[in-house]
A and B are shown apart, each in its own frame.
Chain A
Amino acid sequence: MKRRIILAALAAALTMPAAMPVHAEEGSAGGSIVVTYKDDIVTLDPAIGYDWVNWSMIKSIFSRLMDYKPGTSELVPSLAESYDISKDGKTYTFKLRKGVKFHNGREVVAQDVKYSIERTNNAKTESPGAGFYDMIAGIEAFKAGKAKEIKGVKVLDPYTVQFTLSRPDATFLHVIALNFSSVVPKEAVDKAGKDFGKKPVGSGAFSVAEWKLGQQLVFKKNPDYFMPGVPKVDQITFQVGLEPMTAILKVEKGEADVAGDGIPPAKFLEVRNNPKYAGMIVEGGQLHTGYITLNVQMKPLNDVRVRQAINHAINKDRIVKIINNRAVPANQPLPPSMPGYDNAFQGYAYDQAKARELLKEAGLEKGFKTTLYVFNVDPNPRIAQAIQQDLKEVGIEVALKNLAQANVIAAGGKPKTAPMIWSGGMAWIADFPDPSNFYGPILGCAGAVSGGWNWSWYCNKALDARATEADAMSDPAMAGQRADAWKTVFTDVMKDAPWAPVFNEQRFTFRSKRLGGSDALYVDPVRIPINYDHIFVKG
């Protein structure tokens, strides 16, 4: 017995974009825009691309069964027309839209969905996304090369694909909306081989018109895109190699429309307070938390009182001021815009007397010496210095290790190496808007291994069990209950204080005045930096 999820309202909203709040201000379609970036676009292969320059581009080139309502983190069917979830939460059946075409003209069918998921999970693809699909039945045998196909992905007919999970998992629809689940045509992948990332063929709103390595990439509108009236602009030119400040000047002069890397931290106040730029900066939240990891396996941080003392000793308001108020102070792992965020939670207030008291209880009234690892790019060293000063006040002598990003990551993944790490510059930005994404790899036991990302090496089996339980609540009707379950997992983590959460970064997009569309599109929570499909040039 299956229950049908009624999606008529959502489908209507998708086909009638004017009815949606994001489109309050409607513009004429057409025109071309220029977006700049500092770094090269490394790849547009959806199984490979995993940086925030190509993340949003891949979303526009390819389509997935599920996607998000523009400007929000609300899941909606995209390439799928509708879907069913079985009562036990283990079977998902998707009905595909008919007549959707790849850029090469061939129709997208269910077999392509199966092929694409298998491609991402095939070891030969070397996809960084392969770890997301563990809930699908038969995935392990496939990954280990023992099975030719993933048993849990079945093509029922050309327009129906069914996923069977080994356990109910509330995050599955998010996983199916990830870039790694983008649908690709096998013949184009086979033809391009390893160069598919440079010759991408998808069924998204745009296709690649021209690519000059290291210089520019040009997207042109896909006239056959299945969402009517999307995309709004005819062409997007991505120019690479431009420093963020140069990019701001280019936008000001009208040579570019979006400074893809945002406003450089050191110039933030100058740009923000400049009346010339009024109306060009869009602010929004993002699924990000900046925190200090406290290695629970290293003395004296293995004592919970010491970790709590560190939490009490840090003046978060001052750190937020140091980065020109580009963030809000944090007291828990989850960012405020994430379901499961606890508004009532107080955390550890800034209280140095309390910190000293806790250290005294731990037998460390004379303080101790430790080391803080930090990514050596501004503003991170400045933040680390503020932490160093705060901790000195309570008697903790902190030596700073300013290192390249890769070296900090390497130290974090080695047991008993880095007592403390400031997460800035490599901090956790969620892959998808769901609390579970903030737990497993960075706070759960699974991440507390060599080469893992749980740099506190915190492993609480009881909390892990509760996390698994929360994720098993896959019935959409239980979303509230699930968020509550996650809420207490994170506040209980804070009792053990493996982290000192410091702030949640805000996002600031810098765009030209001629661009239109709701502000939400310019700080889209899942399309970073902006939603290329729905913005438009004012007529």
Chain B
Amino acid sequence: MLRYLASRAVQSVLLLIGVSLITFLLLYVMPADPARQIAGRSATVETVETIRRQLGLDQPLHVQYGRYLAALAQGDLGRSYAQKTEVTEIVASRLPATLLLMVSAIACELAIGLSIGVLAAVRRDSKLDATAMVASFVAVSTPQFVAAMLMLYVFAVQFDWFPIGGYGTFRHLVLPALTLGILGSGWYSRMMRSSMIDVLTQDYIRTARAKGAPERRVLAVHALRNAFLPVIAMIGIDVGLFMSGAVVVESVFGWPGIGQLAWQAIQQVDIPIIMGVTLVAAVAIILGNLLADVVAPFVDPRIKLRQAP
């Protein structure tokens, strides 16, 4: 297990360096000039030059990247061009909201998705099954923007049950979490249904039924645990996705998460923030997948972790 983790850690570091290099290159070839962006419209050419020098943007690419990596090794993500504040501080200020929305949204996805999936699998080919699958199809194909606006309009404006966007209390959390939860549940219900149908045809289920186990026990103990495996991997992916930000939902509900930060930084060509958010997202995706892999053997003892060849 430890050896497995060590090898994954090495892989992860290499992956992160790769991600940082690609992001850096992409930002470097972009025609926009951060120095001019900061200098604003009345700046003289000399002012822009001075700012460019101060930021080290006049250096060749490899020098800039080298400096960035050296600072990164010490946990320094640099200072935002526009805000002049430490990127670590800016990103850290967004983490609580991001994590809160991630956990709540995944909880909603699981609660809605798994129950519908199991129900549909058990009542396979019934009207309920058909309805559930159409609904889940609608859920996964609805644009986040449309769903978020609809939720906001119906539950916050018309019924006045929740505040119109913002952050701070449980009431602020409900709508964004529910929006993400309902949309994402479509994936989980479809996956859970097919996984469950697959498991229910297995020999050990037949054995369990044959030995007279009550149907509830067959489902809850024998089937569910095995059918849950692919869901774990999916949660791992979801963690990574949410950490890189639910840009649209965060925008509509004014949720101060990482997606909103990334979007603003891209518009302002604030390269240190864009790099910082990309790296945090990459770390989250790696960790999410790692977590899913590590948890899997506990759920299914047939899986063994081995060092990658």
Q: Say if A and B assemble together.
A: yes
Q: Which residues of A contact B (CB under 8 A)?
A: 36, 39-40, 42-43, 45, 48, 50, 123-124, 126-132, 143, 194-195, 197-198, 212-215, 239-243, 246, 249-250, 253, 255, 404-407, 409-411, 413, 426, 428, 431, 437, 441, 446, 449-453
The contact of B33 among A40, A249, A410, A446, by CB within 8 Å, is: A410
Report B263 CB to chain A, min CB distance, Å: 10
Given contacts A128-B40, A195-B85, A198-B85, A242 and B166 within 8 Å (CB-CB): yes
Check if B133 is an interface residue, CB within 8 A of chain A: no
With the chains together, A214 CA to B79 CA distance in Å?
16
- Assess whether A406 is in contact with B33, with CB atoms less than 8 Å apart: yes
Point out the residues of chain B lying under 8 angstroms from A411, CB to CB.
31
Per-residue A-contact encoding for B158-170, CB less than 8 Å = 1, 0 else: 0010011111100
Point out the residues of chain A lying under 8 angstroms from B83, CB to CB.
40, 42-43, 197-198
Point out the residues of chain A lying under 8 angstroms from B167, CB to CB.
215, 241
Given contacts A123-B54, A242-B254, A243-B251, A406 and B38 within 8 Å (CB-CB): no
- Assess whether B164 is in contact with A253, with CB atoms less than 8 Å apart: yes
Check if B36 is an interface residue, CB within 8 A of chain A: yes
The total of interchain contacts (Cβ-Cβ below 8 angstroms) comes to 148
With the chains together, A212 CA to B94 CA distance in Å?
10
Nearest A residue to B250, CB-CB: A241
The stretch among B44-52, B60-68, B282-290 that forms the contact with chain A is: B44-52
Point out the residues of chain B lying under 8 angstroms from A39, CB to CB.
264
Point out the residues of chain A lying under 8 angstroms from B251, CB to CB.
241, 243
Report A348 CB to chain B, min CB distance, Å: 26
With the chains together, A212 CA to B268 CA distance in Å?
20
**Sample (18) of A-B pairs whose CB atoms are under 8 Å apart:** A43-B84, A131-B42, A194-B84, A197-B83, A214-B93, A239-B166, A241-B165, A243-B252, A249-B164, A250-B164, A250-B165, A404-B32, A404-B267, A406-B30, A406-B32, A441-B42, A451-B48, A453-B42
Report B228 CB to chain A, min CB distance, Å: 36
With the chains together, A404 CA to B37 CA distance in Å?
12
Q: Which residues of B contact A (CB under 8 A)?
A: 30-33, 36-48, 50-51, 54, 79-80, 82-85, 89-90, 93-94, 97, 152, 156-157, 160, 163-168, 250-256, 260-261, 264, 267-269
Point out the residues of chain A lying under 8 angstroms from B267, CB to CB.
404-406
Point out the residues of chain B lying under 8 angstroms from A194, CB to CB.
79, 84-85
- Assess whether A50 is in contact with B40, with CB atoms less than 8 Å apart: yes
Nearest B residue to A212, CB-CB: B93
3 cross-chain pairs, A with B, having the tightest CB-CB distances, nearest first:
A406-B32, A213-B93, A242-B254
Report A94 CB to chain B, min CB distance, Å: 23
Point out the residues of chain B lying under 8 angstroms from A255, CB to CB.
163-164, 166
Point out the residues of chain A lying under 8 angstroms from B43, CB to CB.
128, 130-131
Point out the residues of chain A lying under 8 angstroms from B164, CB to CB.
246, 249-250, 253, 255
With the chains together, A194 CA to B81 CA distance in Å?
11
- Assess whether A241 is in contact with B54, with CB atoms less than 8 Å apart: no
With the chains together, A246 CA to B166 CA distance in Å?
10
With the chains together, A284 CA to B11 CA distance in Å?
59
With the chains together, A42 CA to B168 CA distance in Å?
21
A-B contact sample (18 more), CB < 8 A, given A130-B47, A409-B37, A426-B41: A39-B264, A40-B264, A42-B83, A50-B40, A128-B43, A131-B46, A194-B85, A195-B84, A197-B83, A198-B83, A213-B90, A214-B97, A214-B256, A215-B256, A240-B254, A242-B165, A246-B164, A406-B31
Nearest B residue to A250, CB-CB: B164
Point out the residues of chain A lying under 8 angstroms from B47, CB to CB.
127-128, 130-131
The contact of B94 among A126, A214, A243, A253, by CB within 8 Å, is: A214
With the chains together, A428 CA to B264 CA distance in Å?
22
Report A267 CB to chain B, min CB distance, Å: 12
Report B294 CB to chain A, min CB distance, Å: 32
Given contacts A214-B93, A242-B165, A410 and B157 within 8 Å (CB-CB): no
Point out the residues of chain B lying under 8 angstroms from A50, CB to CB.
40
- Assess whether B51 is in contact with A126, with CB atoms less than 8 Å apart: yes
With the chains together, A240 CA to B85 CA distance in Å?
17
Report A39 CB to chain B, min CB distance, Å: 6
Report A49 CB to chain B, min CB distance, Å: 10
With the chains together, A143 CA to B268 CA distance in Å?
27
- Assess whether B38 is in contact with A241, with CB atoms less than 8 Å apart: no
- Assess whether A246 is in contact with B152, with CB atoms less than 8 Å apart: yes
With the chains together, A212 CA to B166 CA distance in Å?
13
Nearest B residue to A123, CB-CB: B50
- Assess whether B252 is in contact with A413, with CB atoms less than 8 Å apart: no
With the chains together, A413 CA to B33 CA distance in Å?
10
Point out the residues of chain B lying under 8 angstroms from A40, CB to CB.
83, 261, 264
- Assess whether B82 is in contact with A451, with CB atoms less than 8 Å apart: no
Report A282 CB to chain B, min CB distance, Å: 22
Given contacts A214-B94, A242-B166, A426-B41, A451 and B33 within 8 Å (CB-CB): yes
With the chains together, A195 CA to B83 CA distance in Å?
9
Nearest B residue to A37, CB-CB: B254
Point out the residues of chain A lying under 8 angstroms from B254, CB to CB.
36, 239-243, 246
With the chains together, A130 CA to B97 CA distance in Å?
38
Point out the residues of chain B lying under 8 angstroms from A243, CB to CB.
165, 251-252, 254
With the chains together, A243 CA to B164 CA distance in Å?
11
Point out the residues of chain B lying under 8 angstroms from A250, CB to CB.
164-165
Report B201 CB to chain A, min CB distance, Å: 49
Point out the residues of chain A lying under 8 angstroms from B42, CB to CB.
128-129, 131-132, 431, 437, 441, 453
With the chains together, A42 CA to B264 CA distance in Å?
10
With the chains together, A409 CA to B48 CA distance in Å?
13
With the chains together, A48 CA to B253 CA distance in Å?
30
The contact of A449 among B45, B54, B250, by CB within 8 Å, is: B45
With the chains together, A50 CA to B37 CA distance in Å?
10
